[in-house]
Chains A and B, each alone.
Chain A
Amino acid sequence: MNGLLKDYRKHKYLYFMILPVVLYYFIFHYVPMYGALIAFKDFRIAEGFLASPWVGFQHFISFFDSYYFWRLLKNTLILNLYMLVFSFPAPIIFALLINEIVGSRFKRVVQTVTYLPHFISLIVVCGMITQFLARDGIITDLLVWLGMERQVLLAHPQYFRAIYVISDIWQGVGWGSIIYLAAIMGINPELYEASRMDGANRWRQIFHITLPGITPIIVILFILKIGNMLDVGFEKIILLYNPNTYVTADVISTFVYRKGLQSFEFSYATAIGVFQAVINFILLIAANRFSKKISENSLW
C-alpha cells in the first residue's frame, strides 16, 4: 500500500492519464454487467429490471434442450477453428513478408493497399461478396474458367466456411499485420548484424531472430483469440447466410439474434450470452495456463 502511494506520488501524471481509460471500462463495461442478471429472470419491459420475476436456469435449460443446440455449438467451434488455423497466421506471415521488402516506397504502397479493405464497411464488403459470388459474379466467372460448374456459391453449405474465412483474411490481413510489424521494429538491429557476421541468410534470420522476437505478441494474441472461441461476429454471417447454408453457417450469435432480437426474448438471448461468456472465460484461463507451462509466455 505504501509502495503504491509512493509510486503514485512519483508518477502522478501517468496515473492521471490512465484515469479516463479506467473510467471508460468501469462505466461502459463493468457497470452494465448487472444487466446479465436478466438471464435468470423473465424480463418484461413494463415491469422493469427489478420487478421481473426470477426463473432460475429455465432459459439455459431451454437452450440446451433446443433442437439446434449441438449444431450451433459445432458450427461456432468449427468456424473459429478455421479462423485460428488460417486467419490467425495470415497477418504474421504477411508481416514477415513485408519486413523483407527492401524498397521503402514499394513497401509503403503495399501496406496502404492492404490496409484499405479494413476500412470498408462490413455491409459493403458483404454486398461485394454476394455480387462476386453470384451466378454471373466475377469470382464465379474465374472459377468457371478454371473448370467449376456455374452456380451461386453462397447457396451451398459446403463453401460457406471457406468464403467466410477467405474474405476475413482478405479484409483483415493488412490491418492485422500492423501489430506484428510494430513488434518487428522493436527487435534490436544489432542482432541482425551479429547474425549476418555469422553468415546467417535471410531465412535463418527470420527463423532465429524475427520470429522469436515477436513470439510473445503472437502468444498474447493467440490466447486472446482462444478466449473468443465461442464468439463469431454475427453481422457478417447474417449478411451472408440463408436457409440453404444454415447447416454450416448458423452459429450461436445468429441464433441469439433471430431468437432474442427478432422475437424480443431478451432473457433467453442474455442467457445464451452468459453461457458464451462463461465458456470463453474458462478457455481463456486454460489457454493462459497452458501457455505459461509450455512456453513461459502468458497474459498474466
Chain B
Amino acid sequence: MPHVQRKGWNAAIATVLGVSLLAAGCSTPQNNETPNAPVTNTQGNENPSAPLKLSYWAAMPGDAARLMKNYNESLFYQELEKKTGVSVEFQHPAVGSQAEQFNLLVASGNLPDVIEYNFTHYPGGPEKAISDRVILPLNDLIESHAPNFKKYLDDNPAIKKEVITDSGTIYSFPAIGVGNSNVSSGMMLRQDWLEELGLETPETIEEWTTVLRAFKEQKGATSPLTMTLGEMTGDRFVGAWNIGGSFYLDNGEVKYGPYEAAYKEFLTQMNAWYEEGLLDQDFSTQDNNAKDGKVVNSHSGAFISSIGSGMGRFLNAIPESAPTFDLVAAQHPVLEKGTEPTVFVAAYDFRGDGSAVITPANQNPEATAEWLDYLFSEEGNNLKTFGVEGLTYEMVDGSPIYTDLITNNPDGLTVGEAMSMYMRVATPAPGYVGDDRYNQQYYKFEQQKEAMTIFNQYYSNLENTRLPRVTQTADEAQELSSIMAEIETYKDEMLLRFVMGLEPIENFDKYVAQLQSMGIERALELRQAALERYKNR
C-alpha cells in the first residue's frame, strides 16, 4: 500500500498544480481600458495660430454609448470643431464604471487636458481636487477668457454661489439648469382607473389610501402602489411629513429625516399600506424593470417615475391588455388638504454632473477656456441644444422646432437616442441644460407637459428645505463618510424591518438611540458647519 499512497500523492500534486495553473490562466486580470497618455500640445504655445488639439475625458450616457464609440461621431462635436477650430481627442470610460475609472485616471497622474465629471463627488470635495493638482482654479481665466460664462455668473449671483467653493474659487465650466424643469419625476396614477372609479387625483396621504384601496378592491391591482427601495428611502412619500429621507433643512437647521419624530409616523403609514397589501410586497427587492412590468401589466395603478423616460415610454406603447391605459401626474403628497408640499426630489440648478474642468496638464488653458466658454454663448447653446438649422431643427415663429430626424427618426431611433446622436442635450453637459424649449418637445404627450407643470409648481419651496450643495473639508469628509456608512446601512435595514412589520414600531425610540450612538449628532454638526460656510460664500 505505501507504494500506492506515494503514487497517489504525485498524481494529486500534479492535478492540483495543473488545475490551479488553469485557474490562474483563466483569472488573469482583465486589462482595463485605461486611457493612454494624454496628447501634449507643446507647439500650441509657441505658435498660437496652430490648431488646438485637446484630450478630453468624459463619460458617455447610455443612449450615446449604444450609438457611437466616440463623441467625435456626433454632429455636435463635428460642428463645434468647424466653428472653433479646436479638435478634440476623447477618452471615454466604460459605461457604468466611470467612478472607478476616474479614480484610476487621477491615481495614474496621466491627466488629459479637460475632464468632465461631477467634482462634488470627489473625495474631500473640489477644493481637495485643486490641492491634489487635479484641476486648475479658473477665476482669473474666466475673468479674462470666458466672457459669456462670466456674464452669466455676474447676472445670476445665486447660481454663482452654487458653483464656487467655500473660498470663492470657480473650478469648472458646469452644467447649469436654466429651464423650469428641475423636478423631472414624481408620482403617477392610472387616469383611466381614476375616472372609472370616479376618484380625484389624490393629494393627501388619506386620499392616497382611499385611491389605493379602490385600485386593489375594484380594479384587482395586486400591488396598487409600486416602487423600488431607492424610491422608498428617497424624498418621495416621506416628504408629506415635511421631512427628508436623508439630510434636509428646517428653518436653516440641518436635520436628518430618519432621526426625526415624524419619521415614525411615516414608517407607521408605510407599514399600514404594506400590511393591507396596498404597497408592493416586493418593493425592497425589485428593480426598475420589474416595477415597469407591473405598470404595463396593470398589476399596479400608482408608481413613481420620470416624465421623460418613464411616462413617455408608457404612453408611447399602450399595452394591448389595457387599451384605455392613461396616466396622470399627482402633486407631491401632503398630510393636510390645501397645504403645499415642501420636500420632494429635484435636480439642483448647478447639476454637478457634466462639469468640465481644466487640468494642470493642459498647455493651453486660455484657449481651452475660450473654447469651453463658447458653449455658454447663445450660438453655442443653440448648437448644443438644437443642432444645425435645416437639419435637426427649423425656426417656426421664432422658436426652434426639431425636425423629423429627431422626433420621428427614419432609422428608428427614439427621441432620446436621436438627440444624443446629433447634440448634447438630454444629459448634463457643460453649458445650459433643461431649456424649456427643448423640454416642451422632448415631452411630446400632453400628460407629460401637464406633469412637468404639476411637479414643478412648488419648486421654490425647496429653497427652505433642501440642503444646498455644501462642501466638506477633506478631514470632515472622511469623518462624515465613515459615520454615515454605518448609519445608512443601519437606517436602510431598520426602515425595511419597520415597514415590513418585522420590528414593532414601538422600538422606534431604540432605533433613534442607536442612531445617536452611531454618531448622527456629529454628522449633523459637520453638515451644519458646511452649510454656514456655504452661506458665507
Contact = CB atoms under 8 A, between A and B. Distances in A.
Nearest to B107: A45
A164 interface: no
Contacts of A258: 485, 489
B282 A246 contact: no
A125 B284 CA distance: 21
A46 B132 contact: yes
B482 interface: yes
Contact of B496 (A183, A244, A263): A244
A243 B229 contact: yes
A21 B21 contact: yes
Contacts of A182: 11, 15, 18
A213 B131 contact: no
A182 B17 CA distance: 12
A45 B4 contact: no
A243 to B, nearest CB: 4
Contact of A179 (B4, B15, B132): B15
Determine the main DSSP class of B at the interface with A: helix
B16 A221 contact: yes
Task: Sort chain B's interface into a size bin.
Answer: 35 or more
Contacts of B103: 45, 264
Nearest to B517: A67
Nearest to B5: A216
A179 B16 contact: yes
Contacts of A243: 229, 284, 489, 492-493, 495-496
Nearest to B233: A243
B216 to A, nearest CB: 16
A166 B479 CA distance: 40
Interface residues of A, number: 45
A141 interface: no
A259 B478 CA distance: 11
Most chain B Cβ neighbours within 10 Å, of A152, A221, A243: A243
Interface stretch (A2-10, A77-85, A96-104, A186-194): A186-194
A102 to B, nearest CB: 24
Contacts of B482: 62, 259, 263, 265, 268
B284 A216 contact: no
B16 A217 contact: yes
Given A67-B490, A243-B493, A179 B285 contact: no
Interface string B480-500: 011001100110110110001
A173 to B, nearest CB: 15
A254 B106 CA distance: 25
A128 to B, nearest CB: 14
Interface string B281-303: 11011100010000000000000
Interface of B: 4-5, 7-9, 11-13, 15-16, 18-19, 21, 24, 29, 100, 103, 106-107, 123, 131-134, 229, 281-282, 284-286, 290, 478, 481-482, 485-486, 489-490, 492-493, 495-496, 500, 518
11 contacts: A45-B132, A178-B19, A182-B11, A186-B11, A186-B15, A188-B4, A217-B11, A243-B284, A246-B492, A258-B485, A263-B485
Given A243-B492, A244-B285, 15 more contacts: A46-B132, A67-B486, A67-B518, A135-B282, A155-B282, A182-B18, A183-B11, A183-B12, A213-B8, A216-B5, A242-B229, A242-B284, A243-B229, A263-B485, A265-B482
